[in-house]
Amino acid sequence: MSEAQESGPAVSGRRPKRDALVAAAFELFTTHGFEQTTVDDIVRLAGVGRSSFFRYFPSKEDVVFPDHEGCLAEMTAFLQEGSSEEDPVIKVCDAARLVMRMYADNPAFAVQRYRLTKSVPGLRHHELSVVWRYERTLADYLRRRFAHRPDGTLRADVIAASVVAAHNNALRAWLRSGGQEHPAAHMDEALEFVRRSWGPEGQTTGPDEEETDDVVVLIAKRKAPMWRVVREIESTLDDR
């Protein structure tokens, strides 16, 4: 869940200062470079006070990812909704789609951020911390849903990591294309792979669960040759 309207994200009338800061920051990052741009440069171009910057963003790195806090809150609320009857794997896949929608709603900014992040190692590290928070949110939900299983924690962590990996695979393919097409098709394909691998029909039997395979009983004479016994077994299995 990693990553250009070249001037930054769309402006919201309710958050003019915040959006002005983001737009100014990306303009300066593009023209002068991320490392060479200071917070003072950003607030000066945005026409706001320095205190306004730190009211919205704890650091210069955070201004590169202005939409993730809201998206993380939306994902958390989504996972808290619904009932225990819902398939937990499908639920976390749908939660990942919320994140992809965030990128797809402003493809130009998503591509611009992707290119900037690729060129600045410090931003890549910051982005990994953002990705980790998404993964932890998914894993926490799955741990609650799999609490009855002896392998619940392991299963939750592995599925959460799988969802994030699938999301990022689809996202990077879309961003590398310049955001030319809607990423829904790539996303659906990637998440369907996760669902097939970990959904009800793809789940393996837990260590305390009985196998559901049928039992085949064959009665043979004590002196019957082994080849005949094997042939009878094969014939029985073929008929099932």
- Global pTM value: 0.74
**Which CATH superfamily is 68-202 part of?**
Tetracycline Repressor, domain 2 (1.10.357.10)
- pLDDT, greater one: 189 or 11: 189
Q: Say what the pLDDT of residue 55 is.
A: 93
Q: Say what the pLDDT of residue 185 is.
A: 87
Give the burial string for 21-51 (b: 16+ CB within 10 Å, else e).
Answer: bbbbbbbbbbeeebeebebebbbebbebeee
Q: What is the per-residue pLDDT across 94-141, written as a single tens digit (0 to 9) for each?
A: 999 999 999 999 999 999 999 999 999 999 999 999 999 999 999 999
Cβ–Cβ < 8 Å for 110, 10 = no
Q: Say what the pLDDT of residue 209 is.
A: 44
In this prediction, residues 31-52 reach a mean pLDDT of: 95
- Of 41, 43, 23, 35, the closest CA to residue 61 belongs to 35
Distance separating alpha carbons of residues 168 and 190, to the nearest angstrom: 9
Distance separating alpha carbons of residues 240 and 219, to the nearest angstrom: 17
CA 237, 238, 239, 240: dihedral to nearest 10 degrees? 60
Q: Say what the pLDDT of residue 141 is.
A: 97
- Average pLDDT over the chain, rounded to whole? 84
- CATH 1.10.10.60 for the 16-63 domain, yes or no: yes
Residue 211 pLDDT > 50: no
Domain ranges for the chain: 16-63, 68-202
Residue 239 pLDDT > 60: no
